[in-house]
């Protein structure tokens, strides 16, 4: 190893490619410092700084729109980081997500009288690491960024320190998350060991790199240790995206976690798992089609059926959102299965984007309505639409989009996904998914019915339930934000021409 080699290596450390992540991570650390220096209405000032800076990062991406559509791929940091148009779209996704989570956090923290600085700090750091994770092209970087985000999630889920439910949810996520990262690690190490073995054909000295790993897998498709490693890595990510049989934590953790964090977990964590899986399945694992297609199909069918059937009986809306999220992960798995035959990156992206808009509409209403965080029963939403039309409208748009009702974006996303699946002849999966959608309409509309038609409820003698008052004290910022998110759900349902450039 000579000095020239090291120089070449150092030249690939092009920090400007990850400028947004650096800004977010530095901001995440510096809000902790600002906490010491700010006087007066500290919570408000810190919220303004952190949300404002996230908007600036979002504008940075909008400003550099051309580099989000450029067809070329950049490798930086000794091929650890792979940047292309899809990666940039994923980064925008996480920025939007973290803006919304922070904005919901403002509502939640004020209502529950919790310290706010650490909340924004951890959300920013988790976002930065998720943004790097979707661009990583090396198993080491993938593992480290995944763990950074996961450790931040452990703290965020148990953020309601005064509530034993929040702590219990944190503990459950911690135990299962720790187990899943150990399983992921085992998979990574098996891949590293097998692909680096000098006695195998096509072995590599940098066997954790996706390119080298892909080359090795294409030459040794029959090695059983290799297949075990691939399956373990996929299993580790299946925990992230919460699909059967790794979904057991979902209802409890969603119920106990603070509402904004349940949204963060349901959208950003799930999306990051899918973005990484699509990168893996179309990158290094692409040659294992024969083994992975049945494996992923079984997972997809299991998740669609389990998620939808289990959600039917739920009375707690947070558990309901969690279990319906399992079903949505099942639909997205169809996209992953199809990715072996046809390009589905942007269909999965579009589906997740509509899922983000719809979920945050619903979780926004949940944050505005709820008094007690872990006791979000369906009954709490009785008559919402009549006493607060604005929130009722947002809830109906969000739930309708999740259920896939035609004028809304969720319908188009499902349609695109199913059309793609039919094109590559995955008829069984589409049939199961359609059955799942039908079941899901039952429980989503049960919630809408609860919010709109009081008339169907048998009232008790003293009309205790009826005198609900949903006077929420939403600020103008939140009203505009929620309204905008709901409107986007409608707009994307009617006009997808914005996306034509890259979906079709």
Partner 1 sequence: MSVGLNHYLVVSGMLFAIGFFGVLLRKNVIFIFMCIELMLTAVNVMLIAFSKFNGVGDGLIFVFFTITVAAAEVAIGLAIIVALYKKRQTIMVDEINQLKN
* Given 316, 341, 472, 496, the residue binding partner 1 (CB under 8 A): 316
Find the shortest distance in angstroms from Cβ 8 to partner 1. Answer: 17
Q: Classify 463 in phi/psi space as left (phi over 0), alpha (psi -120 to 50) or beta.
A: left
Asked if residue 118 binds partner 1 (CB under 8 A), the reply is: no
Q: Looking at beta carbons only, is 315 or 423 nearer to partner 1?
A: 315
Partner residues linked to 460 by β-bridges: none
Cβ of 125: how many Cβ atoms within 10 Å?
Answer: 20
Give the Å distances, CA to CA, from 192 to 77, 120, 205, 209, 233.
19, 36, 9, 9, 12
Length of the chain: 504
- Among the listed ranges 48-56, 314-322, 437-445, 456-464, the one in contact with partner 1 (CB under 8 A) is 314-322
Find the shortest distance in angstroms from Cβ 396 to partner 1. Answer: 24
* Given 87, 236, 256, 266, the residue binding partner 1 (CB under 8 A): 256
Asked if residue 255 binds partner 1 (CB under 8 A), the reply is: yes
Asked if residue 217 binds partner 1 (CB under 8 A), the reply is: no
Cβ of 260: how many Cβ atoms within 10 Å?
Answer: 27
Read off the DSSP letter of residue 459: P
Cβ of 346: how many Cβ atoms within 10 Å?
Answer: 18
CA distance 5 to 390: 62
x-marked contacts with partner 1 along 176-195 as a string, rule CB under 8 A: --xx-xxx-xx--xx-xx--
Largest CA distance in the chain: 86
x-marked contacts with partner 1 along 123-152 as a string, rule CB under 8 A: -----------------x--xx--x---x-
Q: Looking at beta carbons only, is 297 or 308 nearer to partner 1?
A: 308
Find the shortest distance in angstroms from Cβ 228 to partner 1. Answer: 11
Partner residues linked to 81 by β-bridges: 76, 136
Find the shortest distance in angstroms from Cβ 419 to partner 1. Answer: 36
Cβ of 107: how many Cβ atoms within 10 Å?
Answer: 21
SS3 content of the chain, % helix, strand, coil (to 5): 75, 0, 20
Find the shortest distance in angstroms from Cβ 395 to partner 1. Answer: 21
Asked if residue 54 binds partner 1 (CB under 8 A), the reply is: no
Asked if residue 490 binds partner 1 (CB under 8 A), the reply is: no
Find the shortest distance in angstroms from Cβ 182 to partner 1. Answer: 4
Helix (H) or strand (E) holding 76: strand 74-76
Binding site for partner 1 (CB under 8 A): 140, 143-144, 147, 151, 154-155, 158, 161, 164-165, 167-172, 174-175, 178-179, 181-183, 185-186, 189-190, 192-193, 196-198, 203, 205-208, 251-252, 255-256, 313-316, 319, 374
């Amino acid at each position: 190893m000579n000095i020239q080699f090291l120089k070449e290596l150092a030249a690939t450390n092009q920090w400007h490619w990850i400028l947004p992540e650096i800004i977010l991570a530095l901001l995440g650390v510096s809000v902790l410092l600002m906490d010491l220096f700010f006087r007066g209405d500290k919570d408000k000032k810190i919220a303004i700084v952190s949300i404002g800076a996230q908007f600036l990062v979002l504008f940075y991406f909008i400003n550099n729109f051309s580099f989000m559509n450029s067809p070329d791929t950049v490798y930086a940091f000794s091929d650890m980081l792979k940047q292309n148009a899809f990666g940039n779209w994923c980064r925008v996704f996480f920025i939007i997500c973290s803006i919304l989570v922070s904005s919901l956090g403002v509502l939640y923290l004020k209502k529950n009288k919790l310290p706010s600085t650490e909340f924004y700090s951890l959300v920013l750091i988790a976002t930065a690491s998720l943004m790097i994770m979707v661009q990583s092209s090396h198993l080491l970087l993938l593992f480290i960024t995944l763990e950074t985000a996961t450790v931040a999630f452990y703290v965020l889920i148990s953020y309601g320190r005064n509530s034993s439910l929040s702590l219990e949810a944190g503990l459950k996520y911690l135990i299962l998350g720790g187990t899943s990262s150990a399983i992921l690690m085992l998979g990574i190490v098996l891949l590293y060991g097998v692909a680096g073995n000098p006695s195998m054909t096509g072995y590599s000295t940098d066997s954790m790199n996706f390119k080298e790993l892909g080359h090795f897998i294409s030459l040794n498709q029959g090695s059983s240790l290799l297949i075990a490693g691939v399956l373990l890595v996929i299993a580790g990510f299946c925990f992230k995206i919460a699909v059967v049989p790794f979904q057991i934590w979902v209802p409890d953790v969603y119920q106990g976690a603070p509402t904004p964090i349940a949204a963060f977990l349901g959208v950003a964590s799930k999306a990051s798992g899918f973005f990484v899986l699509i990168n893996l399945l179309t990158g290094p694992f692409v040659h294992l089609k024969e083994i992975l297609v049945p494996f992923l199909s079984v997972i997809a069918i299991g998740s669609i059926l389990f998620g939808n059937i289990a959600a039917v009986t739920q009375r707690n809306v947070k558990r309901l959102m969690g279990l319906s999220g399992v079903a949505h992960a099942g639909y997205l798995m169809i996209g992953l299965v199809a990715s072996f035959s046809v390009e589905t990156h942007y269909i999965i992206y579009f589906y997740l984007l509509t899922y983000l808009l719809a979920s945050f509409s619903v979780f926004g209403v949940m944050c505005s309505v709820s008094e007690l965080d872990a006791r979000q029963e369906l009954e709490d939403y009785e008559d919402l639409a009549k006493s607060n039309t604005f929130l009722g409208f947002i809830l109906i748009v969000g739930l309708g989009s999740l259920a896939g009702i035609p004028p809304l974006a969720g319908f188009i996303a499902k349609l695109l996904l199913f059309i793609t699946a039919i094109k590559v002849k995955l008829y069984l999966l589409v049939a199961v998914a359609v059955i799942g959608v039908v079941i899901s309409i039952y429980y989503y509309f049960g919630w809408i019915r609860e919010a709109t038609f009081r008339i169907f409820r048998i009232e008790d003698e003293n009309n205790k339930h009826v005198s609900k008052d949903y006077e929420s004290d939403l600020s103008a910022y939140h009203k505009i934000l929620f309204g905008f998110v709901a409107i986007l759900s409608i707009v994307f349902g009617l006009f997808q021409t914005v996306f034509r450039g890259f979906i079709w």
